[in-house]
Amino acid sequence: MTKGELKYEGKAKKVYATDNPETYIVEYKDDATAFNAQKRGTIANKGIVNNAVTSRLFTYLASFDVPTHFIEQLSEREQLVKAVKIIPIEVIVRNKTAGSFAKRYGVEEGIVLTPTVLEWCYKSDALGDPPLNDVTAIALGLASPDELETMMDLAMDINDGLITFFANRGLELIDFKIEFGKLPSGEIILADEISPDTCRLWDTASGERMDKDRFRRDLGNVEGAYQEVFKRVMGDANA
Amino acid sequence: MTKGELKYEGKAKKVYATDNPETYIVEYKDDATAFNAQKRGTIANKGIVNNAVTSRLFTYLASFDVPTHFIEQLSEREQLVKAVKIIPIEVIVRNKTAGSFAKRYGVEEGIVLTPTVLEWCYKSDALGDPPLNDVTAIALGLASPDELETMMDLAMDINDGLITFFANRGLELIDFKIEFGKLPSGEIILADEISPDTCRLWDTASGERMDKDRFRRDLGNVEGAYQEVFKRVMGDANA
């Protein structure tokens, strides 16, 4: 499998065509951005960590019937995925208050949310990924009611799976962001990545932040936290 | 009925206790603010217009079974209302794109929204009234699922009624913001106001803006637009 044309370059990944129109190669970079790319930097070996962690998590999620774009890991920084059209809606699942949510609503971080909060954002760097409700997503033609329901159901299943997976590795899943893609058949499958870039993970014992907040908030030891998540996720704890 | 203690002073109104704990007197001011009070001014006789228009519209809505806090108009600037606890959720109904919605999602103004968009915002000047989805409103304890459903149903009924009312007066209802209050019984009723401060109204013939956007955007003839809405709303066109 060889890389063809560069189809897309995002903040943390490049996506290449392959000689098969049904597959892409994703290459994970070390570049890091935050606050809608107002803050930029690199995290050494982040691409290696996020490729491995995403490959592991997507394989795990597929094992209980979450459809994903992941086919196989090709190298330290590359994976082969199904070619999908990304739905321009970021799906955020929040188990506890943190980050932009806590700031937006003027609440402390770490409060348990009951019920679990699911948010949509319109995926647009130019607009700063604004929040979106169901009816707005439909009225703007971003997704159909059925597609929103499918994404919501999958997001909740993914949350259940990930909470357990991380809890078995001493990590609490505070919130995460996922993206979905559409196959030519219309089927909606999990795409993009799940990694310390896209999840908030707090060490269960110490409460220490083991995710991109270390970069966003200049907490130090960013690489160390990514390596620690890598070690725990790739270790052989039972899912 | 005499005014007692000042219970609350908002940007456009004052609310006073009365000698009956079940009623308040609302006094409409000429003060105008926009963009979360970053822009301030006065619109001559706005309080008179908004008191009269709200009194007329709440009476009209009550005639087809929308429960409201309105009891009677007491004077040019005062009305007697039922004492309610305001639910801290602003309810916005949008028939066409305009204002903050158009800006947030990067779309032109005046596009028909299908379905009609209903948005919640968390009523908080300090936080800039951030948008809120259903599950967030519930998780933050701002309203129950049943209360949200009641507000949504009422908002849609109110929209239907107001579209017709304004259309009969040569005005197109683009969007509007309402607030609901809770009686001691738990019943949810329409509160606050409905006026050119809280609705976008475009002249059907010319497309001219006949609402607070004239103030927000320095379009000139602000008082004239309010007076024209007053004249049309208070005229005897059939509802």
Q: Once rounded to an integer, what is the mean pLDDT over residues B140-156?
A: 98
- Give the pLDDT band of residue B66 (cuts 50, 70, 90): very high
Instruction: Say what angle helices B46-62 and B222-234 make with each other, to 10 degrees.
Output: 30
Share of chain B above pLDDT 70, in %: 99
Q: Once rounded to an integer, what is the mean pLDDT over residues B70-90?
A: 98
CB B136 to CB A105 under 8 A? yes
Instruction: Sort out which chain A residues have CB atoms less than 8 A from B114's CB and list them.
Output: 139
Q: The tokens of B234 are what?
A: 């208070």
CB A81 within 8 A of CB A69: yes
Q: Once rounded to an integer, what is the mean pLDDT over residues B192-216?
A: 97
**Tell me, what amino acid is at B148?**
L
Residue in chain B nearest A95 by alpha carbon: B139
A152/A116 Cα distance (integer angstroms): 12
User: Could you read off the pLDDT of A196-205 as tens digits, one per residue?
Assistant: 999 999 999 9
| pLDDT score for B1 | 74
Q: Is the confidence at residue B23, as pLDDT, over 70? A: yes
- Tell me the average pLDDT of chain B: 96
CB B133 to CB A119 under 8 A? yes
CB A127 to CB B104 under 8 A? yes
Q: The tokens of B172 are what?
A: 């197109």
CB B117 to CB A139 under 8 A? yes
Instruction: Sort out which chain A residues have CB atoms less than 8 A from B119's CB and list them.
Output: 133, 136
Q: Which of A101, A113, A139 sits opposite B113 (nearest CB)?
A: A139
Q: Which of B103, B111, B117, B129 to mutate to test the interface with A (most CBs of A within 10 A)?
A: B117
Neighbours of B177 (CB within 10 A): 19
Pairs of CB atoms within 8 A across A/B: 64
User: Could you read off the pLDDT of A66-79 as tens digits, one per residue?
Assistant: 999 999 999 999 99
Say how many residues make up chain A. Answer: 239
| pLDDT score for A239 | 58
B146 vs B236, higher pLDDT? B146
Q: Once rounded to an integer, what is the mean pLDDT over residues B124-136?
A: 95
Dump strand ranges (E) for A129-170.
131-132
Q: Once rounded to an integer, what is the mean pLDDT over residues B145-161?
A: 98
Domains of chain A: residue spans and CATH:
3-82 (3.30.200.20), 85-221 (3.30.470.20)
Q: Residue A192 class from Cβ within 10 Å (0-12 exposed, 13-18 middle, 19+ buried)?
A: buried
Q: Which of A105, A114, A119 sits opposite B122 (nearest CB)?
A: A105
- Tell me the average pLDDT of chain A: 96
ipTM given for this complex: 0.93
Q: Which of A90, A116, A117, A156 to mutate to test the interface with B (most CBs of B within 10 A)?
A: A117
The maximal CA–CA distance of chain B, rounded, in angstroms, is 50
A96/A99 Cα distance (integer angstroms): 10
CB A106 to CB B124 under 8 A? yes
| pLDDT score for B148 | 98
Q: Which of A114, A116, A124 sits opposite B106 (nearest CB)?
A: A124
* Beta carbons within 8 Å of A37's beta carbon, 6+ residues apart: A11, A125
> What residues form DSSP beta bridges with B32?
B41
Q: Once rounded to an integer, what is the mean pLDDT over residues A90-105?
A: 98
| pLDDT score for A36 | 82
CB A106 to CB B117 under 8 A? no
Instruction: Sort out which chain B residues have CB atoms less than 8 A from A131's CB and list them.
Output: 131, 133
- Give the pLDDT band of residue B237 (cuts 50, 70, 90): low
Instruction: Sort out which chain A residues have CB atoms less than 8 A from B127's CB and list them.
Output: 104-106
Range from A170-184, B24-38, B108-122 carrying the lowest mean pLDDT: B24-38
Provide the shortest C-alpha distance from residue A204 to chain B (in Å): 23
| pLDDT score for A236 | 74
| pLDDT score for B16 | 98
Q: What is the DSSP letter of B96?
A: E
Q: Is the confidence at residue A217, as pLDDT, over 90? A: yes
| pLDDT score for A238 | 60
CB B21 within 8 A of CB B84: no
Share of chain A above pLDDT 90, in %: 94
CB B133 to CB A135 under 8 A? no
A27/A226 Cα distance (integer angstroms): 18
Instruction: Sort out which chain A residues have CB atoms less than 8 A from B106's CB and list them.
Output: 124, 126-127
CB A152 within 8 A of CB A92: no
Q: Once rounded to an integer, what is the mean pLDDT over residues A110-127?
A: 97
User: Could you read off the pLDDT of A15-65 as tens digits, one per residue?
Assistant: 999 999 999 999 999 999 998 888 999 999 999 999 999 999 999 999 999
CB A115 to CB B135 under 8 A? yes
Q: Is the confidence at residue A138, as pLDDT, over 80? A: yes
CA A1 to each of CA A5, A14, A48, B120: distance values in angstroms, whole numbers, following the listed order: 13, 16, 19, 49
Q: Which of B104, B118, B127 sits opposite A130 (nearest CB)?
A: B104
Instruction: Sort out which chain B residues have CB atoms less than 8 A from A156's CB and list them.
Output: none
Residues of B with CB under 8 A from a CB of A: 101, 104-107, 113-120, 122, 124, 126-127, 130-136, 138-140
A197/A177 Cα distance (integer angstroms): 9
| pLDDT score for B239 | 58
Secondary structure (DSSP) of B2-18: ---SEEEE-SSEEEEE-
| pLDDT score for A219 | 95
